[in-house]
Structure 1
Amino acid sequence: MTRESLRIASDWLNGAGLRPTRQRIALAELLVGDGKHRHVTAESLFEAAREAGAAVSLATVYNTLRAFCAAGVLQEITVDGSKSYFDTNTHDHPHFYWEDEGRLSDAPADELEIARLPQAPEGVEVASVDVVIRLRRKS
């Protein structure tokens, strides 16, 4: 990693009010160090960390991703009821889930139209709407 990617990662953590531990900096650098948005699973981030020589456990990766979500710098997208992806782009936007590849990518937000939502039950409000469009190659 570069001095610039380290600065970007540190600024990202500081901006979220997160203490920049060695593990958090290493994972943040992999997530945002190049300034690009990405979608990762805990397992794919763990593997990238191992390849980069970072000494982190899978449990640490999971805990760190949860802390990043709680701080508002990552968005968790659940697919298939149990598989979670983590997105560095926290703005509301739809996603494509590529079933054949097990991959998540951004879908064009400007092409999505939601005309109306059902009324929320009394005493609660809609917190967010997640749109995941599942794709499969034609046979």
Structure 2
Amino acid sequence: MRRLRSRLMAAGMRPTRQRVALGGLLFGKGDRHVTAEKLFEEALADDLPVSLATVYNTLHQFTDVGLLREIAVDGARVYFDTNVSEHHHFLVEGEGLVDIPGAHVDVASLPPPPPGMRIARVDVVVRLCKDED
């Protein structure tokens, strides 16, 4: 927990009790992709007294300071990725996201951005479904 507190402070965030508790759930299990609802379920199972709104706010705050990446896969479904390195994803229907190492996707011939804009990041999500036998 001490390392997590230091990480939050280095990102310019105050290490509140709820941020540290949610950060422990998020970052204590290695690289992962979670939805706010999944993290909320984990918090409840861990007897953390937080609301779903607090979970959403914390995830967005962590994203804003670069501790998480937000991956929007549908209009209403958003995953938060603890691996902030450059990489892309497989979306396995009904299961969730799986990392694709960055070197395994070649994105070429992007259109130029509009004047005054720059490309910040390109997220490739490859949708997969199980073979029907």
Match of 1:18 among 13, 18, 27: 13
Distance between the aligned counterparts of 1:109 and 1:124, measured in 2? 24
Deviations 1:5-62 (A, max 9, x none): x22322221221110111101000011134x111110000001111111111101000
Find the counterpart in structure 1 of residue 127 from structure 2: 134
Give the TM-score normalised by structure 1.
Answer: 0.88
Preserved contact between residue 8 and residue 32 of structure 1 (Cα < 8 Å)? no
Please give the alpha-carbon distance, in whole angstroms, between the structure 1 residues aligned to 2:20 and 2:116.
Answer: 40
Matched residue, 1:123 = 116
1:95 is aligned to 2:93: no
Name the CA distance, whole Å, in 2 between partners of 1:38 and 1:118.
31
* Partner secondary structure for residue 22 of structure 2: helix
Correspondence 1:9 to 2:8 = no
- Aligned with residue 103 of structure 2, among 82, 85, 110: 110
The more displaced of 14-23 and 40-49 is 14-23
Q: Unaligned 5+ residue runs, structure 1? A: 1-5
The answer for unaligned runs of 5 or more in structure 2 is none
Of the three residues 35, 40, 48, the one matched with 1:41 is 35
**4+ residue segments displaced more than 6 Å:** none
Q: Secondary structure at the match of 2:37?
A: helix
- TM-score between the two structures when normalised by the length of structure 2: 0.92
Q: Tell me the distance in 2 between the aligned counterparts of 1:58 and 1:47.
A: 9
Equivalent runs, 1:64-103 vs 2, <5 Å:
64-101=58-95, 103=96
1:59 alignment counterpart = 53
CA RMSD of aligned residues (A): 1.3
CA deviations on 1:104-127 (whole Å, 9 max, x unpaired) are 121122211122211222232212
> Which amino acid in structure 2 is aligned with residue 106 of structure 1?
D
Over the matched positions of the two proteins, sequence identity in percent amounts to: 52
**In 1: Cα distance, 2:94 partner to 2:131 partner:** 10
**How many corresponding residue pairs?**
132
Given residue 87 of structure 1, which amino acid in structure 2 is its aligned partner? D
